[in-house]
Amino acid sequence: MEYTSLLDTSLDLNANPLRFLDEAPSKEMESNFIGLGKKTTVKEEANVLVEELNRVSAENKKLTEMLTVLCENYNSLRTQLTDYMSKNPGIEHSASKKRKSESIVTNNNGTNGHSESSSSDEDFCKKPREEHIKAKISRVYVRTEASDTSLVVKDGYQWRKYGQKVTRDNPSPRAYFKCSFAPSCSVKKKVQRSVEDQSILVATYEGEHNHPHPAKLGATPSSNHCLTLGSVPCSASISSTGPTITLDLTKPNPNNDAKTSSRKSDSSPEFQQFLVEQMASSLAKDPSFKTALAAAISGEMLQHNRN
């Protein structure tokens, strides 16, 4: 089902905030070199830039609020579903009980597979009796420097490493972590580099945290990490209890700074269009975003039906 066909998801994103770094300095330089008589133009330009920045910040805030609402709706629907499942245990048995090792779903475009959270919901239905033992499995893909050998995925939680193993199908070692934030929390995490792309860390989460996200309790900003959705970077934090993604498009991407400052063509309308398309397709491809969106829509529809 294509959700984008149901409602207008165009958010009028200012997808190229980097143009501040890209265009503005060069223009400023130009005017500085042309002559001192252009001081007022520089000031005007600065004002325009400040206004633009304010506008983008407001837009970012709006987007953040929208995503928060989406995630809240998702969580409430999820809770409803959990309640419903526990009250009607018979329903789940319609699904196949057979389960081999969890299959890794690869998406169609041939890039790294991304099956984050998708298996967990299936598992929830397929093996209700195992649910309490292996409650939830989700995967998170994090792009890192290929030279970075540490198997650290900063997700805001506190992890204690308890083992490392080299597996047969992957030359890079797999690290095993347990949540150490709360002694009663039994969530585990496995981190291993992707076979296809050594710069991608695959973090597999098992179970659900029975405590609030440390980041929400005033943790450091390091709880956020840079995820790459397609080619569009964004600052994001992901918890296994629910997707919490904060897009901050006003932040320049440190990885691209050098590139953008040296590539004048990045500020072209074609490139902006390309960025918008990339972002849209990335969001459309992201199963967790789709899930959250679908949950939000169905939640709204349910509320409508009740009223």
Partner DNA sequence: CGAGTTTGACCTGCGC
Partner DNA sequence: GCGCAGGTCAAACTCG
Sign of the Cα torsion 55, 3, 230, 102 reads: positive
Minimum distance between the CB of residue 205 and DNA, rounded to whole angstroms?
A: 12
**147 C-beta neighbours (distance < 10 Å), count:** 7
Which amino acid type is present at position 94? S
Is 129 a residue that touches DNA (CB under 7 A)? no
Q: Does 162 bind DNA (CB under 7 A)?
A: yes
Compute the distance between CA of residue 182 and CA of residue 187 in angstroms, rounded to an integer.
Answer: 10
Say whether residue 132 binds DNA (CB under 7 A).
Answer: no
Cβ–Cβ under 8 Å, residues 236 and 224: yes
Q: How many CB atoms lie within 10 A of CB 101?
A: 5
Name residue, tokens 């939640």.
299
> What are the tokens at 152?
């650290």
Tell me which residue has tokens 């349910």.
302
Question: In the 8-state DSSP scheme, what is residue 168?
Answer: T
Of the pair 84, 162, the CB lying nearest DNA is at: 162
> Any contact of residue 211 with DNA (CB under 7 A)?
no
Q: Which is nearer to DNA, 165 or 259 (CB)?
A: 165
Of positions 78, 114, 136, 190, contacts DNA by CB under 7 A: 190
Residue with smaller CB distance to DNA, 179 or 247:
179
Quick one: 87 or 168, whose CB is closer to DNA?
A: 168
Q: Does residue 103 interact with DNA by CB under 7 A?
A: no
Q: Which is nearer to DNA, 53 or 133 (CB)?
A: 133
Q: Is 49 exposed, middle or buried (0-12, 13-18, 19+ CB in 10 A)?
A: middle
In the block, tokens 């830039």 appear at: 49
Binding-site residue total for DNA (CB under 7 A)? 18
**Residue 174 sits in the site that holds DNA (CB under 7 A):** yes
By CB under 7 A, is residue 161 in contact with DNA?
yes
Q: Which three-class secondary structure state does DSSP give residue 150?
A: coil
Burial of residue 42, with CB atoms counted within 10 A of its CB: 0-12 exposed, 13-18 middle, 19 or more buried: middle
Taking the complex as a whole, how short is the minimal distance between the CB of residue 221 and DNA, in angstroms?
19
Residue 176 engages DNA in binding (rule: CB under 7 A): yes
The binder of DNA chosen from 27, 38, 127, 188 (CB under 7 A): 188
Residue 165, class by beta-carbon neighbours within 10 Å (0-12 exposed, 13-18 middle, 19+ buried)? Answer: exposed
100 binds DNA (CB under 7 A): yes
Q: Does 164 bind DNA (CB under 7 A)?
A: yes
Shortest reach from residue 218's CB to DNA, in Å = 17
Residue among 31, 75, 112, 158 that touches DNA (CB under 7 A): 158
Residue 180 as a binder of DNA (CB under 7 A): the answer is yes
If one asks whether residue 167 binds DNA (CB under 7 A), the answer comes out as yes
Number of separate helices (H) and strands (E) present in the chain: 7, 8
Nearer to DNA, 152 or 284 (CB): 152
Residue 163 lies near DNA (rule: CB under 7 A): yes
Give the residues lining the site for DNA (CB under 7 A): 100, 158-165, 167-169, 174-176, 180, 188, 190
